Amino acid sequence: MEKLKEKLEEELETKLEEKEVELKELKEELEKEELEIELKEELEEFKEELKELDEELKELK
């Protein structure tokens, strides 16, 4: 009975470690996606500012 309990504890510990690794990978993927979204938003803002500057330049000519 004790051996069975030890075996079950080892299996649970292994599964827990696997889930922790999986969670870490998911967290890293989420952070990467959040950064990509943020960069896309900043790029759009930059494009808009560039467009406005271009229009101002045309008006000055």
Q: How many CA atoms within 13 Å lie on the side-chain side of 35?
A: 6
Domains identified in the chain, total number: 1
pLDDT means per 10 residues, the chain with 61 residues, are: 93 98 99 98 98 95 79
- Predicted pLDDT at 22: 99
Question: In whole angstroms, how far apart are CA 3 and each of 9, 33, 47?
Answer: 10, 45, 66
The Cα–Cα gap between 43 and 5 comes to 57
- Predicted pLDDT at 61: 79
Q: Read off the pTM.
A: 0.67
| Domain encompassing residue 10 | 1-60
CA 16, 18, 20, 25: dihedral to nearest 10 degrees?
-160
